[in-house]
């Protein structure tokens, strides 16, 4: 069998044993919290990985692109939420998937989207299910949980020929919570926002069967999801340096790494150069605001053991610059030209999107499979 020393670098390695442990841990959490787990497959963007994560492809899942939805539906996953606000021009693809037997729901937070969903539903004589997006943290899209437009949108969907499926929120602010107490509070805030919106809809006589919340940090630290029906999370499957920095597991739970090769040195600057730049690692600097800044990635040997404070300090398109973390007193390790390394990424989702496939291992260096990665929208 090939191993991590045999392939041209850079490439993406996935430790299947670590992923399986991560998946089992979150499945147990959802069961303990009494909610349905709806994994967000945008993290892996891969049909074989999705099959491993879901176990049964009839299980519910979340996607971030219609290309993901189409590929996973073809593989048998027919219960999907497209968790990005719907663009009206994409509704024909949504209808085509629904007419082919996939229960694909969309999300929205404004009247223009609702009108487009209703018009498409009427034209096809086929109600499109929609969830109203709730803003639980002021980070991105959605309506505040006490916004009267929530009820107005719900009523418009029902009266306009579409289907009101429920409410959905994403507590992205959980990525900026650095104590257990703050993380638990964020999970409660996320829950309360979604439940309040659902309560308002029901008080207005509108059905709200789905109350959907989710982010990996809030899922990991939630203690009470009363009123919630389902939990969405994605990055837990592979984990990354941001999750480790947030206390969602440790470095040895990160299933994803970029394999790179040392190509040179700049001794006077204290640099080691590799062939993995931002086209392999992404430009994501998600740990920059965390207690431990990991640069563009944490460097490890080919067995996955980190070299202490050695990080990717900088990147250009096809070059990575390794250096010791600022403030470290440790010496630069001796890594001759040709040495192969692993780099743990800041953000798994962003790094996966840079590569065509995973080289799958089972806890070691032997490659046991290759899993194609979906690309595009």
Dihedral sign (CA 253, 184, 296, 39): positive
Q: pLDDT at residue 139 above 90?
A: no
| pLDDT number for residue 8 | 98
| pLDDT number for residue 25 | 97
- Write out the two tokens for 289: 């605001």
Nearest to 371 by CA among 146, 86, 147, 46: 46
Q: Residue 173 — pLDDT band, cuts 50, 70, 90?
A: confident
Task: Classify 142 as helix, strand or coil.
Answer: coil
| pLDDT number for residue 10 | 98
Nearest to 210 by CA among 232, 192, 190, 230: 230
User: Could you report the per-residue pLDDT of 318-364, keeping only the tens digit for each?
Assistant: 999 999 999 999 999 999 999 999 999 999 999 999 999 999 999 89
Q: pLDDT at residue 113 above 90?
A: yes
- For 96, half-sphere exposure in the C-beta direction (CA atoms, 13 angstrom radius) is 10
Alpha-carbon gap, residue 39 to 188, rounded angstroms = 20
CA dihedral 51, 104, 256, 321 (to 10 degrees): 150
**Opening angle at CA 128, ends 75 and 133, nearest 5:** 95
User: Could you report the per-residue pLDDT of 229-254, keeping only the tens digit for each?
Assistant: 999 999 999 999 999 999 999 999 99
Alpha-carbon gap, residue 251 to 302, rounded angstroms = 14
User: Could you report the per-residue pLDDT of 289-324, keeping only the tens digit for each?
Assistant: 999 999 999 999 999 999 999 999 999 999 999 999
Asked, as a colleague might, if the bond just before 10 is cis with ω within 30 of 0, I would say yes
CB atoms within 10 A of CB 76: 15
The 8-class DSSP code of residue 333 comes to P
Q: pLDDT at residue 9 above 90?
A: yes
Alpha-carbon gap, residue 236 to 352, rounded angstroms = 14
Q: CB of 244 within 8 A of CB of 50?
A: no
For β-strands 271-274 and 298-300, DSSP reports them as: unpaired
- For 189, half-sphere exposure in the C-beta direction (CA atoms, 13 angstrom radius) is 20
Q: CB of 347 within 8 A of CB of 341?
A: no
Helix (H) or strand (E) holding 202: helix 180-203
| pLDDT number for residue 111 | 98
Q: Which residue ranges form the domains of the chain, and what is each CATH number?
A: 35-239 (3.20.20.10), 248-372 (2.40.37.20)
Q: What are the angstrom distances between the C-alpha of 195 and each of 1, 135, 190, 262, 267?
A: 51, 12, 9, 52, 57
Q: Residue 172 — pLDDT band, cuts 50, 70, 90?
A: confident
User: Could you report the per-residue pLDDT of 120-135, keeping only the tens digit for each?
Assistant: 999 999 999 999 999 9
Mean pLDDT of the chain: 97
Across residues 214-224, what is the average pLDDT? 94
């Amino acid at each position: 069998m090939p191993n991590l020393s045999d392939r041209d670098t850079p490439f993406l390695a996935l430790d299947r044993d670590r992923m399986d442990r991560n998946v089992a841990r979150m499945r147990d959490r959802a069961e303990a919290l009494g909610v349905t787990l709806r994994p967000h497959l945008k993290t892996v963007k891969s049909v074989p990985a999705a099959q491993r994560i879901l176990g049964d492809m009839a299980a519910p899942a979340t996607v971030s692109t219609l290309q993901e939805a189409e590929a996973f539906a073809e593989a048998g996953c027919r219960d999907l939420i497209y968790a990005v606000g719907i663009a009206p021009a994409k509704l024909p693809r949504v209808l085509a998937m629904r007419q082919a037997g996939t229960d694909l729901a969309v999300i929205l937070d404004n009247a223009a989207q609702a009108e487009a969903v209703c018009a498409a539903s009427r034209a096809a004589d086929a109600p499109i299910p929609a969830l109203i997006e709730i803003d639980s943290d002021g980070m991105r899209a959605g309506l505040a949980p006490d916004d009267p437009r929530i009820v107005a949108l719900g009523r418009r969907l029902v009266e306009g020929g579409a289907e009101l499926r429920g409410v959905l929120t994403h507590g992205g602010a959980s990525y900026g919570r650095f104590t257990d107490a703050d993380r638990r509070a964020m999970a409660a805030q996320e829950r309360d926002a979604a439940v309040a919106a659902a309560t308002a809809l029901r008080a207005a006589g509108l059905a709200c069967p789905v109350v959907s919340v989710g982010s990996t940090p809030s899922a990991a630290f939630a203690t009470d999801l009363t009123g919630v029906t389902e939990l969405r999370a994605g990055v837990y499957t592979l984990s990354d340096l941001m999750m480790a920095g947030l206390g969602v597991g440790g470095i040895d739970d990160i299933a994803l790494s970029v394999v790179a090769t040392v190509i040179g040195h700049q001794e006077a600057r204290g640099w080691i150069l590799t062939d993995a730049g931002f086209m392999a690692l992404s430009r994501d600097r998600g740990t920059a605001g965390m207690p431990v800044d990991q640069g563009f990635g944490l460097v490890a040997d080919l067995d996955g053991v980190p070299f202490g404070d050695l990080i990717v300090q900088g990147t250009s398109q096809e070059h990575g610059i390794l250096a010791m973390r600022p403030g470290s007193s440790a010496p630069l390790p001796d890594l001759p030209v040709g040495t192969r390394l692993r780099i743990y990424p800041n953000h798994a989702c962003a790094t996966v999107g840079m590569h065509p496939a995973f080289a799958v291992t089972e806890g070691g260096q032997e490659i046991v499979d290759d899993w194609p990665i979906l690309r595009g929208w």
